[in-house]
Chains A and B, each alone.
Chain A
């Protein structure tokens, strides 16, 4: 019963919180609307998304969010430094193929998004088998260091969270 009402409990929770934050007030009407959305949207979209995302370790996910926030601040300063103080001909941009061990689509999506938001890299494509990501690096004198960073800093954490 509970499972039929909430096919995606985490999504319901997220929708509920999002609506409350959007209306910015705790009135009975907005709580009712939040509840309606939290039940209706997961139910309507469930046919397209039959499996639950395997979010196994929520404290680890919170820690991951903090790590990524910190990295985004560093990324901003790093990119600003490259834009402002490096001559264009010294910027060594290039494509890098990053092999990944993650299997679940949710984990790969989060990893790809993280790579785009953090130091000087943008996820551009994926191999058709889904085991390699193509990223573009703004300034990569040492591509192996970037691959190593991605694998140890983000992928290992995501593996513990999702798989």
Chain B
């Protein structure tokens, strides 16, 4: 029984490590910034995830305690990863992409990053403006 658990834990750690390496390798290999963004946002979630599952399982079997911190790490990772990715993508849109390179929205308005009408995203509150 102990042996089986050990094999499972080892397998989880190896799988996690492999995915983490693939994510980092993707950063090196892919040619454009937007493509490189895909490797760390995804290939690493399973890397971290299986290491966390292995950690939970270890404490469950060997220390007889349940550790909930791993669930928290997962939650915070899932909350922050899309936001970080979105920030990097927005910065990339501002720095290196022109409005003509993007597909049309199809509804008549511009993409928010390139719309001259949308300026007050900073500290100005939108409803401070007087109605005409």
Residues on A lying within 8 angstroms of B by beta carbon are: 18, 20-22, 24, 72-73, 75-77, 79-80, 83-84, 88, 91, 93, 95-97, 99, 112-113, 116-117, 120, 122-129, 131-132, 134, 136, 138
Contacts and interface: CB of A to CB of B under 8 A. Distances in A.
Nearest to A138: B38
B113 to A, nearest CB: 5
A65 B131 CA distance: 42
A84 B85 contact: no
Contacts of B92: 124
A117 to B, nearest CB: 6
B33 to A, nearest CB: 10
Given A80-B19, A84-B22, A125 B78 contact: no
B78 to A, nearest CB: 7
A134 B106 CA distance: 11
A136 B31 contact: no
B43 A95 contact: no
Interface residues of B toward A: which range? 35 or more
A72 B46 contact: yes
Contacts, number: 136
Interface centre among A75, A117, A128, A129 (most CB of B within 10 A): A128
A82 B26 CA distance: 9
Contacts of B69: 21-22, 24
A79 B38 contact: yes
A28 B1 CA distance: 37
B111 A83 contact: no
A79 B32 CA distance: 15
Q: What 8 pairs between A and B have smallest CB-CB spacing?
A: A124-B89, A76-B46, A116-B82, A83-B26, A113-B82, A21-B68, A127-B105, A128-B115
Contacts of B83: 113
A120 B69 CA distance: 29
B102 interface: yes
Contact of B25 (A21, A72, A83, A123): A83
A125 B93 contact: yes
A120 B93 CA distance: 18
Nearest to A134: B111
B72 A18 contact: yes
